[in-house]
Chain A
Amino acid sequence: MLLSRRRLGMLGAGLLLPRQLLAQQTSQRRFLFVFCNGGWDQTTVFAPLFGSPYVDMDGGGEEAEAGGITFVDAEDRPSVRTFFERWGEQTCLLNGLEVPAISHDQCMRLIQTGRRTDNGDDWAAILAGRGDVLELPYVVVSGPAYSSAHSSAVVRIGSDRQLAKLLDASAFDSSDQPIMAMSETADEAVAAFLQERAAELVGAQPTGQEARFADAYARSLDNLAGVRGGLGELALDGAVFDTLASSLEVALKSMELGKTRCALIRDNGLWAQGWDTHQKNEYQALNFDLLFAQLDELMLTLASRTGPDGAPLSETTTVVVFSEMGRQPKLNSHGGKHHWTSTSALFLGAGIAGGQVVGGFDERSLSRPMDFATGAPTSRGVLADVDDFGATLLALADIDPGAYTHGAPIGAIVK
């Protein structure tokens, strides 16, 4: 792959290390992705474009600063201010992120994979697939996830807790035909037999896709044995899933046990109405207030729990909060805002150079070119796009982005 101008620029910053060296240094940092479904309005919190004749700002807001983050403060969303006061020093706000599409499907795929087609892995799947062999590498609690070469890393919880029901066999209670569960003796014998069969498959040293299948088949059986052995630790009977932190409980428990590297959850805003405010843009403020209150709880939860190495999860976990698109700067005739190709993203926690805003918007709420090394908007810089977003995530995990994207890491985000 030829190095682009922006990637060449990163060589000096040491962000593009030889692949072999990087492979030896693969970080075990964990990642939590919070996806705000529908397209958030960057001007409600992230872009204080007051005074611009081209932007309809939310009434009652004003520019404020907390923890090094400049944002839009307003009485009706106090949790935003509270959050930045408490966590701003650990937060990097990326403004002016380009998602070059305007349909939800396409934007979701682009920001998570950098691709326009379905046949690719999302950033989280790559991070999970390239990490240590874990039992639940990438826990998808909810939301869109894309996988191909690393599809074996993806573990879906199910919208109705199907994973737990399969694990404890209570799934058998929901069948129109009677189901006879296997005895423990038979179960153990079957598991041992199949693991031997898998070893035989791998031992045949297949090539091409056969090799990938054999490895994944063997690993899936190993992981199944491991998870079933640890069933009690992941059982969540009676749990109430009403906040981001509680809904992520399976992933958090699994991270504590060292079984998970990535997790994804979808935020559907207040009353699960989503963020797609073609009408009544004031719902953005309500959604942001709820989101930041829940992010605050999530960060407190991460700080209070430890991984297998004894370190707080907050010190080993990067939280990424994003939406698939932004919203037009002007209100439409229904008091809403249509789709927009410039948006923002938040990076929090481990590995993040916090207390800063990188990139920016111009007075029309369009993305400004930026210097990737400093994060400063400059006409001599380049627009940060979805590939750069992905490259930054991969760099945070010490994975050479060049194997997956032509984007360049935004060095200013990485501590």
Chain B
Amino acid sequence: MFGVIGLLIGCAEPVAPSPVTVQRPSSPYVLLDGPRLLRRIRLDLGGRLPDVADLDVVEADPDQVWTLADGYLDDPLLGDRLVELWGERWGQLRDDPLIGTAEIGVAEEDAFPFARSSFEEPLRLMAHVAVNDLPWDEVVTADYTLGTAPLARLWPLDTPADAEGWVISHYTDGRPMSGILSSNGLWWRHITDESNANRGRAAAISRLLLCEDFLSRPISFSALDVAAVDEASAAAAIQDEPACAGCHSTLDPLAANLFGFWWFEEHNISEIGYYHAEREALSDEILGTRPGWFGQPLGGLADLGGALAADPRFSRCTAEHMAAGLWRREVDLDDHDQITALTDVLEDSDRQLKALLGAILRTEDYRAGGLLAGAGVAADRAVTRRMLSPDQLSDALAALTGFHWTHLGVDMMNADTGGGYRVLAGGADGELVRSPQTDPGLTWALTTRRLAEAAAGYAVDNELVAEAEGAGLLRGVTLETPSSDPAFTAQLSALHWRLLARRPTEAWLSSVTALWDVVEDKAGAEQAWVAVLVVLFSDPDFVTY
């Protein structure tokens, strides 16, 4: 599997031992240099900036980027980032509860954690499988899930009441287990009703796990030759009309696996929180079909995960989702060979997700930092500069400054309820905003400025005013250090390197020193350092990667 890498441009770029064998006649991309690539990888895999020591290593020896990247893959921070990545792609990171939390006895302070974790449940299981090097099949075959104490107060889970965060848990209502397919969280996100009869859920399984989208096919009642459309004729058409049966002959048996999640009442936790084995047989009555998997009969939910894992589309779809997530663009036909090669990597590693991730990091589409002159229109699809997600920005600034914008338990940059700013900062909410913003806009600029202001103020107050250790961002100066002091310039240089993974130019140093002087003269050194940090936290090379 070790093969040809496209043309590398520039002398300082790392030589990637890529396992992906895709031959390109010539690369259309200018690839990122070692430090900037390391920064991209660290933000994607850990949601924060690389340590200065790591930047120094890669600056001296660009090949070391891959050694460090493999280390980042083993960092527990990877789990949170995967949750965000899948949550964004699957529209699963919602924070509006399916059921009124007050009416089911959730304390006000638990309302947001409960709502958010109810949707995160399947994503946490996926992250657990990935981070612990388990075969990816376990995502759909595991006989356990991940739970939290707030969830277990309302769902039939054996999660200890004193559990901190997410822990391996088991449903206690006797439901058949097929990994995330048996999770409440997936089906709280994809609810159904009498007319839909679990078909939307079946379509979600196919779209999310096989990359086969039933809903992408046009539907038009006007194209049907039916005299009338009422419930009876619609049911008959689904089975008899070729235009309907083409989809429904496979969709309906898939939906038939899910009738244990059939609810008669949406505002009752004992209905929507529990599995109802006695309702499994309703598929016969409601859909007129028994459980199946694309033409093969199944015994029901217990068999569903195994059938899915055995389907070759499952691993290819995993490769597509992960590549799209890390390339920050949708895959298309031009990516066919690359996706095939990446799928092979996943298969050859006994379906360990980290192997797939490592291979994607080494692709040129991931490492692209610019376009060569005359690269052609096709190269325009490359995302050479990615905007930090609100979550990445928030996590990175929290690690740098100690400031994490929360209010009454709500993560303000990773939520929209409770006055949060995720959508205004360019994020998606899984409902009304399905894709993250790809370019800066007014509300993005305003939100990132306010966050930068808050984080900068916190760091300066903590490190320079209170002289606490803090995160060590401003370790090289005090409030008394004049701009003429070499230590001042050294501090600016260090900040630039740490935050942007680039050495500063003399012009930049001069202009930032001038900025500091102006503010210090009128508002004092404290405000001057806040201003310096804000311009760095708002710099185009900081807010992108």
Q: Which of B219, B229, B421, B527 contacts A329 (CB 8 A)?
A: B229
Q: A190–B531 contact, CB under 8 A?
A: yes
Q: Nearest Cβ in chain A — how far from B367, in angstroms?
A: 15
**Residue B212 lies at the interface, judged by CB distance under 8 Å to chain A:** no
**Residue B75 lies at the interface, judged by CB distance under 8 Å to chain A:** no
**Residue B435 lies at the interface, judged by CB distance under 8 Å to chain A:** yes
Q: Chain B, 423-442, contact with A by CB distance < 8 Å: what is the 0/1 string?
A: 11010000111110111111
Q: A221–B445 contact, CB under 8 A?
A: yes
Q: What residues of A have a CB within 8 angstroms of the CB of B447 in the complex?
A: 166
**Residue A6 lies at the interface, judged by CB distance under 8 Å to chain B:** no
Q: Which of A156, A158, A176, A383 contacts B407 (CB 8 A)?
A: A176
Residue with the greatest number of chain A CB neighbours at <10 A, chosen from B421, B445, B453, B531: B445
**How far, in angstroms, from A119 to B445 measured CA to CA in the complex?**
22
Q: Nearest Cβ in chain B — how far from A160, in angstroms?
A: 4
Q: B446–A174 contact, CB under 8 A?
A: no
Q: B439–A175 contact, CB under 8 A?
A: no
With A155-B441, A213-B440 already in contact, the answer to whether A185 and B519 are too (CB < 8 A) is yes
Q: B379–A208 contact, CB under 8 A?
A: yes
**Residue A364 lies at the interface, judged by CB distance under 8 Å to chain B:** yes
Q: Which of A152, A166, A207, A208 contacts B450 (CB 8 A)?
A: A166
Q: B230–A330 contact, CB under 8 A?
A: yes
Q: A162–B421 contact, CB under 8 A?
A: yes
Q: Nearest Cβ in chain B — how far from A12, in angstroms?
A: 27
**Residue A265 lies at the interface, judged by CB distance under 8 Å to chain B:** no
**How far, in angstroms, from A53 to B343 measured CA to CA in the complex?**
55
**Residue A281 lies at the interface, judged by CB distance under 8 Å to chain B:** no
Q: What residues of B have a CB within 8 angstroms of the CB of A190 in the complex?
A: 515, 531, 534-535, 538
Q: Nearest B residue to A217 by beta-carbon distance?
A: B440
Q: B218–A100 contact, CB under 8 A?
A: yes
Q: Chain B, 13-48, contact with A by CB distance < 8 Å: what is the 0/1 string?
A: 000000000000000000000000000000000000
Chain A interface bracket (under 10, 10 to 19, 20 to 34, 35 or more)? 35 or more
With A174-B412, A186-B530, A341-B219 already in contact, the answer to whether A223 and B445 are too (CB < 8 A) is yes
Q: What residues of A have a CB within 8 angstroms of the CB of B340 in the complex?
A: none
**How far, in angstroms, from A158 to B416 measured CA to CA in the complex?**
8
**How far, in angstroms, from A186 to B525 measured CA to CA in the complex?**
11
Q: Nearest B residue to A364 by beta-carbon distance?
A: B228
Q: Which of B444-475 contact A (CB under 8 A)?
A: 444-447, 449-450, 453-454, 456-458, 460-461
Q: Which of B375, B432, B523, B530 contacts A145 (CB 8 A)?
A: B432
With A54-B227, A364-B228 already in contact, the answer to whether A156 and B531 are too (CB < 8 A) is no
Q: B424–A166 contact, CB under 8 A?
A: yes
**Residue B144 lies at the interface, judged by CB distance under 8 Å to chain A:** no
**Residue A303 lies at the interface, judged by CB distance under 8 Å to chain B:** no
Q: B403–A177 contact, CB under 8 A?
A: yes
Q: B531–A342 contact, CB under 8 A?
A: no
Q: Which of A22-30, A194-202, A267-275 contacts B (4 or more CB under 8 A)?
A: A194-202
**Residue A278 lies at the interface, judged by CB distance under 8 Å to chain B:** yes
Q: Nearest B residue to A53 by beta-carbon distance?
A: B228
**How far, in angstroms, from A278 to B383 measured CA to CA in the complex?**
43
**Residue B195 lies at the interface, judged by CB distance under 8 Å to chain A:** yes
Q: Which of A81-89, A291-299, A332-340, A391-399 contacts B (4 or more CB under 8 A)?
A: A332-340
**How far, in angstroms, from A337 to B506 measured CA to CA in the complex?**
69
Q: A174–B527 contact, CB under 8 A?
A: no
Q: Nearest Cβ in chain B — how far from A314, in angstroms?
A: 26
**How far, in angstroms, from A163 to B449 measured CA to CA in the complex?**
13
Q: Which of A153, A180, A217 contacts B540 (CB 8 A)?
A: A217
**How far, in angstroms, from A163 to B519 measured CA to CA in the complex?**
27
Q: Which of A13-21, A72-80, A101-109, A403-411 contacts B (4 or more CB under 8 A)?
A: A101-109
Q: Nearest Cβ in chain A — how far from B365, in angstroms?
A: 12
**Residue A117 lies at the interface, judged by CB distance under 8 Å to chain B:** yes
Q: Nearest Cβ in chain B — how far from A162, in angstroms?
A: 5
Q: B228–A185 contact, CB under 8 A?
A: no
**Residue A183 lies at the interface, judged by CB distance under 8 Å to chain B:** yes
**How far, in angstroms, from A177 to B371 measured CA to CA in the complex?**
42
Q: Which of B198-257 contact A (CB under 8 A)?
A: 200, 203, 213, 215-216, 218-222, 226-231, 234
Q: Which of A179, A198, A221, A340 contacts B458 (CB 8 A)?
A: A179
Residue with the greatest number of chain B CB neighbours at <10 A, chosen from A166, A169, A329: A166
Q: Nearest B residue to A154 by beta-carbon distance?
A: B441
Q: Nearest Cβ in chain B — how far from A22, in angstroms?
A: 22
With A167-B446, A220-B440 already in contact, the answer to whether A209 and B380 are too (CB < 8 A) is yes
Q: Nearest A residue to B383 by beta-carbon distance?
A: A209
**How far, in angstroms, from A334 to B195 measured CA to CA in the complex?**
11
**Residue B384 lies at the interface, judged by CB distance under 8 Å to chain A:** yes
**How far, in angstroms, from A222 to B433 measured CA to CA in the complex?**
25
Q: Which of B371-391 contact A (CB under 8 A)?
A: 371, 373, 375, 379-380, 382-385, 387
Q: What residues of B have a CB within 8 angstroms of the CB of A172 in the complex?
A: 450, 454
Q: Which of A127-179 contact B (CB under 8 A)?
A: 135-136, 142-149, 151-156, 158-160, 162-163, 165-167, 169, 171-172, 174-179
Which 8 residue pairs of A and B lie closest in terms of their CB atoms, listed nearest first?
A: A180-B457, A216-B439, A330-B230, A220-B445, A100-B218, A220-B440, A152-B441, A186-B531
Listed in ascending order, the chain A residues whose CB lies under 8 Å from chain B are: 53-54, 98, 100-103, 105-106, 109, 116-119, 135-136, 142-149, 151-156, 158-160, 162-163, 165-167, 169, 171-172, 174-183, 185-186, 189-190, 193-194, 196-198, 201, 206-210, 212-214, 216-217, 219-221, 223-224, 227, 278, 328-330, 332-334, 338-342, 364, 366-367, 383
Q: List 12 A-B contacts (CB under 8 A).
A: A149-B439, A160-B418, A169-B450, A183-B527, A190-B538, A206-B370, A210-B384, A216-B439, A223-B442, A224-B449, A227-B442, A338-B195
Contacts beyond the supplied A117-B216, A148-B438: 14 A-B pairs with Cβ under 8 Å: A101-B219, A151-B441, A158-B424, A185-B522, A190-B538, A208-B382, A209-B380, A217-B540, A223-B441, A223-B445, A224-B446, A224-B449, A338-B234, A341-B222
